[in-house]
A and B are shown apart, each in its own frame.
Chain A
Amino acid sequence: MSEYFFELLAEEIPAWMHDTAAATLTQRLTKLVEETGGDAGGVCVNTTPRRIAFMLAKLPEREADRELEVKGPPKKAAYDASGNPTQALNGFLKKNNAAIGNVIDAGDYVMVRKQITGRGIDEILREQVPQIVESIRWPKMMRWGKGEFSYIRPIHSVISLFDGRHAPLTIFGVESGTTTVGHRTLAPQKIEISSYNDYVTKLELARVVVDAVRRRHVMAERARILANEAGGAPSTDASIWSQWQYLTEYPGVVRAEFRSEYLALPEEVLVTVMRVHQKQLPIRDASGKLMNSLLAVLDNEGDPLGNAAYGNSFVTNARFADAKFFYETDRKRKLADRLEQLEHLQFQEKLGNYAEKTRRIESIVRDLGGDADALTAAHLCKTDLVTEMVKEFTDLQGQIGGIYAREEGYPEVVWQAIYDQYALPRTMSGALVSLADRIDTLAGFFSIGAKPTGSKDPFALRRAAQGIVQILLLRDEREVKVGIERLIDLGVGQAGAPDLHDDLLAFFAERVKTILEQTFAYDEVAAAMEAGWASSLTDLADRVESLHAVREDANFLSILDSAKRIANITAGHASTSVDAKKLEHDTEKRLNELADAVGTHIDELLAERRYRTALESFAALAPELEKFFDDVMVMVDDEGVRRNRMSLLRKVGNAVMKIADVTKIVVDRRDYK
């Protein structure tokens, strides 16, 4: 089999873009390899900060020859009245290099079969690889030099090798060759490459580790050793590895120290500075406490002169010095004394300032039945927006307020509610404050016509709504027994826009669907939502879950069929009140009695949210229902009798419709045999 190797040398590509780009590239290359009859298992994509490299290891030398059927003119147009070929047919044959003897009758049309000789793979690659590489859609493109091309970063060189020979191609005007360069500062010399293995080996010698996963492993091990030497371990709370592996070509790590006086700052601040601002990894001791040491990425083998350790200490101390200044400034003023400042902090031009928003949040929390602690948290929840710390570290809003409240001696339930307001709350009070804040934001923005459209959602309203849904799905001691509908009423009440109720309800319906569809099938979600959702999301979740469970059962088909028959025959009929005196047949009398008995039983089960058992009880009615349809004619001329029978069927059907509109479930009957 044949091997193809490709490298694109560019300038440093942002770390967060590598994974997606590599995945896209792998997918397209796999498709290409499969189309040419190669083995997709041989596709291997690797990236470093400045390189995109791939190997296609298991390629045939040529595409397989194949036969192609080419459709010609309609038979009517292909032959004249006396059966001789027309000009249309002759033209078609000429174009396809075929003779009259090759014509095949294909019903209404004629056709010919053509032998296609497979092309050489190198030829296909030279045509396809530039297209595949050039068409990667990077999140933020740029132009350079004369400005003719747009890509993630300027392109320096390209290697294209087919079985060790140069397979020339051009990427954005850069002609391919067979050389690359090593590490930018440690081994910048030119290197001649003959194959993928050769590439990996030679680059390793030139201080470049091609495989991102290996860079990560080397760094993780080095980090562990360095932290260990300092008497601790690398903090495990870091998603930092996926960045680190794309920040260097050589997988180095350095340890640096900062002044221990800064350990007095809130841990969240220290961690944010290190992780978010400096892309460093904190070190913790055995008890999990932060140490005054950190780990930083290093695109070098080591740091024998201590330069990188010095630089990282320097910059971290500088950042912490700023943070300490902010912290000390902030602590001179209590959160409660900051409320007045919120009058001057605008929430949104048309929606007033944060003091007004705070009053609305408090009011909603009160209406939701929040206790004194919840109200205190609501009262203070936005005050950290006017602290120096949040002005500097905006992603710590909420957390900073919580930390300051803790230090001012507020009870745990209060400071946690403030701390958690933008996350998933730990307490009931937190849940109430979060709900109130979010519904106020949603109703407010809807009231000024700023609801999201398409991909545009500048105020992150979808996320706000999703947050509400997630909180309302909580079942432990944080279960807020309030429906979306009621919450919307409170929100639009504060916004003075009651007519927005339906708009918001529809908006929430989409969010609920999105979240439930992460766990359940779309038709299960749709069926359960049809039976109502806006008064309790936990109830909705219970119903979807039981539907999901019962769907696998053998008797689900009888539930479905019964419900469908009832729905079809009673379309447009709503009444469920049956006049027992008008019932004639034994079968319908018995069904009525059963419906009453089972109906009562099901209602009891529904009250206890035992939906699965309820669905099973309904399934037990199926034989009786079948007998009814066999013995009794519903669509009789006598309107009274007809309507009475329809009411009976409605009564039977409604028992299940309270759980879900099961007729919306799509089944493949073969699954049930």
Chain B
Amino acid sequence: MSRVTFQSLILTLQNFWAERGCLIETPLDLEVGAGTMHPATFLRVLGPEPWNVGYVQPSRRPADGRYGDNPFRLGKHYQFQVILKPSPLEVQDLYLDSLRAIGLDLTKHDIRFEEDNWESPTLGAWGVGWQILLDGMEITQFTYFQQAGGIDLAPISAEITYGLERLTMFLSRKDSVFDIEWTNGVGYGPVRHQDEFEFSKYYFEVADIDLHWKLFDAYESEARRCLDTKLVLPAYDFTLKCSHVFNTLDARGAISVTERVGVIKRVRDLAVRCAQQYLASREELGFPLLKRGADVSSARDRADETSAPLGGTSV
């Protein structure tokens, strides 16, 4: 196995999926808990437009922070997210090819797809799928989206979410995430440890609770105002801000069990309205991507023929 770094892993995955017809997006420039919340997933899986995309998403989960003390847990980790819509029949084989691309000889490892369904109460979304275990360790979440924003989906999207730190740790045989290499000669620890410590301290001890409740109310009402003026994308941004403020308050221990359900519902109501309005707005625009999207369903064969990027071949 060649020397794998955090960075080489990202580059390999990006190239791999680009070669198979995916558009490479950039991370969302807002704090989110998962790549799923990026509009390139949550909104694009709605409606009939085909969509194949891959991107890195820094994912902030304030409650998971451990001040940089725990070798396995991070308050912010990085995901590589792939959406294939509609899900091609050979999507599992495509995924296995991506593991081969990062240097794994699959005949020498144990790969299993174990049931793990996904549900997000804040997004009104759920899907069916697996956690993918490499030698007994979860490295990827694989989901066939069934519903988003309370809307039944058709076509169905396949979502593949790689946990980048975990995968790097495993491939480079490191016992602590802070020991992996970001790139040759530069460690992940020196780059990120301060970040983990400071944000853990901030989210658990310092964050101003009153301010965050005010922010939540303000973001929520701004989201509503945007929805009322049919500006769904800004509305969705503010919905995500609400979601992150909620996570911050939660980590800070400022949300009681009673309040929790109510606050989640407030975020979900926004997400559901955003989903409905986004779908309507795309319909008004005549579903612009409907005839232009790259088709990944035969991408596996095509990728075998040539390694040149194939984005937008059917334009």
Binding site for B on A (CB under 8 A): 11-12, 14-16, 49, 140, 142-148, 154, 156, 184-186, 247-248, 252, 254, 256, 278-280, 296-300, 303-305, 307-308, 310-312, 314-315, 317-318, 321-322, 325, 344-346, 349
B153 proximal to A (CB < 8 A): yes
Contact of B110 among A140, A154, A156, A299 (CB under 8 A): A299
Q: Note all chain B residues with C-beta closer than 8 A to A185.
A: 96, 106-107, 109, 111
A308 and B136 form a contact (CB under 8 A): yes
B110 and A344 form a contact (CB under 8 A): no
Q: How far is the CB of A88 from chain B (nearest CB, A)?
A: 51
Query: In the complex, A65 Cα to B113 Cα: how many Å?
Result: 49
A15 and B154 form a contact (CB under 8 A): no
Q: Note all chain A residues with C-beta closer than 8 A to B111.
A: 184-185, 299
B137 proximal to A (CB < 8 A): yes
Query: Which among B8-16, B84-92, B238-246 touches the partner chain?
Result: B84-92
Q: If the complex has contacts A11-B92, A12-B130, A156-B89, are A143 and B135 also in contact, measured as CB distance less than 8 A?
A: no
Q: Note all chain B residues with C-beta closer than 8 A to A248.
A: 112
Q: Note all chain A residues with C-beta closer than 8 A to B135.
A: 307-308, 310-312
Q: Note all chain B residues with C-beta closer than 8 A to A325.
A: 70
B34 proximal to A (CB < 8 A): no
Query: In the complex, A305 Cα to B109 Cα: how many Å?
Result: 9
Q: Note all chain B residues with C-beta closer than 8 A to A305.
A: 108
A315 and B137 form a contact (CB under 8 A): yes
Q: How far is the CB of A394 from chain B (nearest CB, A)?
A: 14
Residue of B nearest to A183 (CB): B107
Query: In the complex, A310 Cα to B169 Cα: how many Å?
Result: 12
| B 121-150 to A, binary, CB cutoff 8 A, 1 in contact else 0 | 000000110100011111000001010000
B287 proximal to A (CB < 8 A): no
Q: Name the interface residues of B53-106: CB closer than 8 Å to any CB of A.
A: 70-73, 86-89, 92, 96, 106
Query: In the complex, A11 Cα to B89 Cα: how many Å?
Result: 10
Query: In the complex, A256 Cα to B109 Cα: how many Å?
Result: 14
- Can you list 21 pairs linking A and B with CB atoms under 8 Å apart? A12-B130, A142-B127, A143-B156, A144-B87, A146-B155, A147-B86, A147-B153, A184-B96, A247-B112, A248-B112, A297-B112, A299-B112, A307-B109, A308-B109, A314-B137, A321-B70, A321-B71, A321-B72, A322-B70, A346-B257, A346-B258
Contact of B137 among A311, A321, A322, A346 (CB under 8 A): A311
Residue of B nearest to A296 (CB): B136
Query: In the complex, A312 Cα to B110 Cα: how many Å?
Result: 10
Q: Note all chain A residues with C-beta closer than 8 A to B137.
A: 311-312, 314-315
Q: Note all chain A residues with C-beta closer than 8 A to B173.
A: 310
Query: In the complex, A535 Cα to B138 Cα: how many Å?
Result: 54
Contact of B115 among A14, A280, A299, A312 (CB under 8 A): A14
Residue of A nearest to B112 (CB): A299
Q: Note all chain A residues with C-beta closer than 8 A to B257.
A: 345-346
Query: In the complex, A325 Cα to B66 Cα: how many Å?
Result: 11
Contact of B114 among A247, A298, A317, A345 (CB under 8 A): A247
Tier of interface size on chain B? 35 or more
Q: How far is the CB of A311 from chain B (nearest CB, A)?
A: 3
Q: If the complex has contacts A146-B86, A325-B70, A344-B256, are A140 and B109 also in contact, measured as CB distance less than 8 A?
A: no
Known: A11-B113, A144-B87, A147-B154. 7 other contacts (CB 8 A): A143-B144, A143-B146, A143-B154, A144-B156, A147-B153, A312-B137, A345-B257
A315 and B136 form a contact (CB under 8 A): yes
Query: In the complex, A298 Cα to B106 Cα: how many Å?
Result: 13
4 smallest beta-carbon distances between A and B, as pairs: A311-B135, A147-B154, A14-B115, A312-B136
B156 and A145 form a contact (CB under 8 A): yes
Count contacts between A and B, CB distance < 8 Å: 122
Binding site for A on B (CB under 8 A): 70-73, 86-89, 92, 96, 106-115, 117, 127-128, 130, 134-138, 144, 146, 153-156, 158, 170, 173, 175, 256-258
B110 and A307 form a contact (CB under 8 A): yes
Q: If the complex has contacts A145-B156, A325-B70, A349-B258, are A304 and B144 also in contact, measured as CB distance less than 8 A?
A: no
Q: Note all chain B residues with C-beta closer than 8 A to A146.
A: 86, 154-156
Q: How far is the CB of A126 from chain B (nearest CB, A)?
A: 24
Q: How far is the CB of A458 from chain B (nearest CB, A)?
A: 14
Q: How far is the CB of B119 from chain A (nearest CB, A)?
A: 11
Q: Note all chain A residues with C-beta closer than 8 A to B88.
A: 145
Query: In the complex, A299 Cα to B96 Cα: how many Å?
Result: 15
B112 and A311 form a contact (CB under 8 A): no
Query: In the complex, A296 Cα to B136 Cα: how many Å?
Result: 8
A12 and B114 form a contact (CB under 8 A): yes
Query: In the complex, A610 Cα to B144 Cα: how many Å?
Result: 63
Q: Note all chain B residues with C-beta closer than 8 A to A148.
A: 154
Q: Note all chain B residues with C-beta closer than 8 A to A314.
A: 137, 170, 175
Q: If the complex has contacts A14-B115, A146-B154, A321-B70, are A186 and B134 also in contact, measured as CB distance less than 8 A?
A: no
Contact of B108 among A140, A247, A299, A304 (CB under 8 A): A304
Query: In the complex, A311 Cα to B112 Cα: how many Å?
Result: 13
Q: How far is the CB of B261 from chain A (nearest CB, A)?
A: 9
> Quick one: which of B113, B117, B130, B138 has the most chain A CB within 10 A?
B113
Q: Note all chain B residues with C-beta closer than 8 A to A11.
A: 92, 113
Residue of A nearest to B261 (CB): A349
Q: How far is the CB of A464 from chain B (nearest CB, A)?
A: 21
Query: In the complex, A147 Cα to B158 Cα: how many Å?
Result: 12
Q: Note all chain A residues with C-beta closer than 8 A to B155.
A: 145-147
Q: Note all chain A residues with C-beta closer than 8 A to B89.
A: 144-145, 154, 156
B144 and A15 form a contact (CB under 8 A): no
Query: In the complex, A52 Cα to B115 Cα: how many Å?
Result: 17
Q: How far is the CB of A4 from chain B (nearest CB, A)?
A: 26
Query: In the complex, A140 Cα to B111 Cα: how many Å?
Result: 23
Contact of A311 among B136, B144, B146, B258 (CB under 8 A): B136
Query: In the complex, A279 Cα to B158 Cα: how many Å?
Result: 26
B256 and A346 form a contact (CB under 8 A): yes
Q: Note all chain B residues with C-beta closer than 8 A to A299.
A: 110-112
Query: In the complex, A310 Cα to B1 Cα: how many Å?
Result: 15
Q: Note all chain B residues with C-beta closer than 8 A to A344.
A: 256
Q: How far is the CB of A397 from chain B (nearest CB, A)?
A: 16
> Quick one: which of A15, A247, A314 has the most chain B CB within 10 A?
A314
Query: In the complex, A140 Cα to B256 Cα: how many Å?
Result: 32
A311 and B70 form a contact (CB under 8 A): no
Query: In the complex, A12 Cα to B71 Cα: how many Å?
Result: 32
Q: Note all chain A residues with C-beta closer than 8 A to B70.
A: 321-322, 325
Query: In the complex, A346 Cα to B146 Cα: how many Å?
Result: 33
Query: In the complex, A247 Cα to B258 Cα: how many Å?
Result: 39
Query: In the complex, A189 Cα to B110 Cα: how many Å?
Result: 18
Q: How far is the CB of B197 from chain A (nearest CB, A)?
A: 17
Q: How far is the CB of A460 from chain B (nearest CB, A)?
A: 19
Query: In the complex, A403 Cα to B196 Cα: how many Å?
Result: 34
Q: How far is the CB of A61 from chain B (nearest CB, A)?
A: 36
Query: In the complex, A146 Cα to B153 Cα: how many Å?
Result: 9
B107 and A186 form a contact (CB under 8 A): yes
A311 and B108 form a contact (CB under 8 A): no
Residue of A nearest to B129 (CB): A142
Query: In the complex, A187 Cα to B259 Cα: how many Å?
Result: 53
Residue of A nearest to B260 (CB): A346
